[in-house]
Structures are given as structure tokens and as C-alpha cells.
Amino acid sequence: MDLGIKGKTALVCAASKGLGRGCAEALAAEGVNLVINARGEAALIQTAYAIAERHQVTVEPVAADITTADGRARVLDALGGKADILVTNAGGPPPGHWTDWDRDDFIRAIDGNMLSAIALMQALVPGMMERGWGRVVNITSAAVRAPIAQLGLSNTARTGLTGFVAGMARQVADKGVCVNNLLPGIHDTDRATALDAGVSAAQGISADEARARREATIPTRSYGRAEDFGAACAFLCSQQARFIVGQNLMLDGGALNVTV
Ligand code: NAP
């Protein structure tokens, strides 16, 4: 299916690896030119080069921390202040116990996984509205619908972003801008490897065993792949997605056992 977005420009945040990279790859495969971002320069440049070469699009890498005002300013500068498509993403907060987190931990999590996405939408969505077309996909987490106790910082920040999007998405849809959230369940990325390592240490089992136990809880019996995730993201950015507004799409292999 032609998604009708060839020649558009997208900002994909936190995209040198993992789910962000999956989204960048899938958009590039549709002919979308990219600005991509991550903190580590070497991996970012390698990713930008590989995507540009494979899909014959322009990919500008901006090494910056997207959770800081300075990092966002540099990324927005590279876009000349405008983009047709925005994919927000950043690393997730660390696991822990609810009694251990203090105000600074919450502020860091909220800055990283809520306020930075909101700031990018505030910077780019007005231009999309003026031009009469835009797509925003926020990478959040399945934890928004099914909280993971030890990821309480993530649960807190991401539900805050979800609440913001629920209202805002309905205020911009009449200008051709569709804002939605993608909720990853477990996907085979560095983040999943780190979480498995945590379970392995806590339960005194091998990382392979931790993964096997988790896979057994998923109806697909396997972790998702970044390319599966990217394909869903590209569809939400398509012309065909014009009637999908303010939704929270679970990509979890059916792990959340609910009817709706
Ligand atoms: P990942 O494989 O660890 O990749 C993270 C990417 O984000 C890397 O490119 C990393 O590069 C970049 N990044 C991290 N912090 C950044 C920052 N402050 N500014 C700019 N770039 C940054 O992680 P992932 O699995 O793709 O996860 C992406 C998001 O989805 C995370 O928030 C994660 O918590 C969430 N999530 C993932 C899963 C899963 O199963 N994978 C499930 C639920 C939710 P640098 O380190 O070089 O900056």
C-alpha cells in the first residue's frame, strides 16, 4: 500500500536504535526525509548513513539530548522549525520501588517522558496546522494501560502525556493534524535486554530464562520487533490514517488480556 507521504519531512527522536530507529526506517521506506536524533554521535551517524543509503532519502543526524531545552532547540534548528511528521521518543526511566523515588526522580522522568514530547508538539504542531496537514506519533508504553509496578516513574510520566494528548489531539484534528500514541509491549531492543537482565539478577535466573518466562506470557510467544513497531508508526503517519485521532494503540502481541 502506498501511504502517500513520499517527500514529507519527519523528526524521529531517540532513533539511533530500537523502536525509534524502527520508525525512522519505516518512514524512510515510504520516501520520507528525516531528521533523527540520539545522544551518542557514533551510532546515530551510522544509523543515518545506513537509512539514507538503503532508502535514498535525506537523513540529518543531530546528536543531542532530547529531554533538554538546548537539545530540542538544536534539533528544531536542523528542521528549520518545521516538520510534517513528528515521532516523539526518549529513553525510559529506571526501575525501582515506589518508596525510593524523590522529587528529583519524578521531575527527571516527567521531563524525559512527558514534557519533552509536549514541548516538541508545541513547537511543530502549529506549523502543521497552518499548512493543513500533520501527523504526530508519541512512543509511550503498554504500561499506560497495564502499569508495571517497578516502572512507576514511567507509569506516572507517560499517563501524564496520554492525558495531554487526549485533549490536544481533538483540538488540532480539524486542521488536518492527527496525533496518536503507540504503546509498546515488550520488543526486542536494548531496553528489553536491560529489563531482562534486571529480572535475571533479582530472581537469580539466567537472562535467557527471564526472557523465556516473559515470552510464555505473550500470546505470540515472542517479543515484538522494531520493524513491526515501525510499520504501525508509518501507517499512523499515512494519508489513510486521517480519521485516527487521539488513540492509544497497543503493540503487545496480545499480552494485555482485555476485551476493548
Ligand atoms: P533502546 O533500544 O534502548 O533505544 C533507545 C534509543 O533512544 C537510542 O537510540 C538512544 O540513543 C536514544 N535515547 C535515549 N535517551 C535519549 C535522550 N535523552 N535523547 C535522545 N535520544 C535518546 O530503547 P527502545 O526499546 O527503543 O525504547 C524506546 C522507548 O520505548 C523507551 O522510552 C522505552 O522505555 C519505551 N518502551 C520500550 C519497550 C520495549 O520493550 N523495548 C516497551 C515499553 C516501552 P542514545 O543512548 O545514544 O541517546
Residue 195: what pLDDT? 87
Is the domain of 98 the same as that of 193? no
Asked if residue 165 belongs to a domain, the reply is yes
Residue 151: what pLDDT? 94
CB 4 within 8 A of CB 239: yes
Asked if residue 155 belongs to a domain, the reply is yes
Is the domain of 85 the same as that of 206? no
Q: The domain spanning residue 25 has which CATH number?
A: 3.40.50.720
Is the domain of 102 the same as that of 195? no
Pocket of ligand 1 (CB under 6 A): 14-20, 37-40, 43, 65-67, 89-92, 139, 141-142, 184, 186-187, 189-192
Residue 161: what pLDDT? 98
Distance 20 CA to ligand 1 centre (A): 7
Per the confidence metrics, is the pTM higher than 0.85? yes
Is the domain of 193 the same as that of 218? yes
Tell me the best of 150, 155, 158, 189 to mutate to test the pocket of ligand 1, counting ligand atoms within 8 Å of each CB and taking the most: 189
Distance 62 CA to ligand 1 centre (A): 16
Is the domain of 121 the same as that of 193? no
Task: Report how many domains make up the chain.
Answer: 2
Asked if residue 1 belongs to a domain, the reply is no
Is the domain of 77 the same as that of 151? yes
- Domain residues for the domain of 212 are 186-223
Asked if residue 254 belongs to a domain, the reply is no
The atom number, within ligand 1, closest to the CA of 139 reads 30
Residue 196: what pLDDT? 92
CB 59 within 8 A of CB 36: yes
Is the domain of 155 the same as that of 94? yes
Residue 67: what pLDDT? 98
Consecutive 10-residue runs of the chain (260 residues): their mean pLDDT?
Answer: 98 98 98 98 98 98 98 98 98 94 98 98 98 98 95 97 98 98 96 91 95 97 98 98 98 96
Residue 228, CA distances (Å) to 85, 103, 224, 225, 251 in order: 19, 36, 7, 5, 9
Distance 155 CA to ligand 1 centre (A): 15
